[in-house]
Amino acid sequence: MGYDTEAIHAACEARGSRPIIPLKQTPGVKRGDHRPPECEHGTWTFAGSDPARGAPKWRCPTGDCSPASRWIKADRLHPLVPRESKRWKSLYRGRACVEREFGRLKHEWALLPLRVRGVERVRLHADLTILAKLACALARAAPAQP
């Protein structure tokens, strides 16, 4: 939830990944800015996203409005994978896997005891750690032929 900022959402999208981050209670959220559009027919429903357009589509529940659907520019409050969708909930449940992997890299693969300073060297340390782990996984999956 601490990662729910406009900058982090934009950085994820810039790297071609979808942010799956729970909503932080900001003044805008308390005002209800994050809620789907509404009309006299009820609350609009999610009708798919277009990453190229950078917007999710929302549709009038009965289709009697004109236009019956609208693209809403994606942002922290209206992500391409809406927080009320099943897909968001399923992806969010998967976060434990990534935390487990980070823990393993830190404690079993020596990612944690940093003995270098500076982002370039720390990046190299992390890259080499992950490379070593992937090489071991590859060797296990496809043992060398004699």
Which residues of the chain form contacts with Zn ion (CB under 5 A)?
39, 41, 60, 65
CA 146, CA 138: separation in Å to the nearest integer?
Answer: 16
Query: Are 26 and 64 in contact, with CB atoms under 8 Å apart?
Result: no
Residue spans of beta strands (DSSP E) within 54-101 = 55-59, 69-71
Residue 20 or residue 60: which is nearer to Zn ion going by CB? Answer: 60
Peptide bond into 67 cis (omega under 30): yes
- Tokens of residue 74, six digits: 């994606």
Residue 65 or residue 105: which is nearer to Zn ion going by CB? Answer: 65
Residue 43 or residue 90: which is nearer to Zn ion going by CB? Answer: 43
Least Å from the CB of residue 84 to Zn ion: 18
Least Å from the CB of residue 47 to Zn ion: 13
Least Å from the CB of residue 76 to Zn ion: 26
Comparing CA positions, the residue from 29, 42, 100, 87 lying closest to residue 68 is 42
Residue 40 or residue 120: which is nearer to Zn ion going by CB? Answer: 40
Least Å from the CB of residue 59 to Zn ion: 9
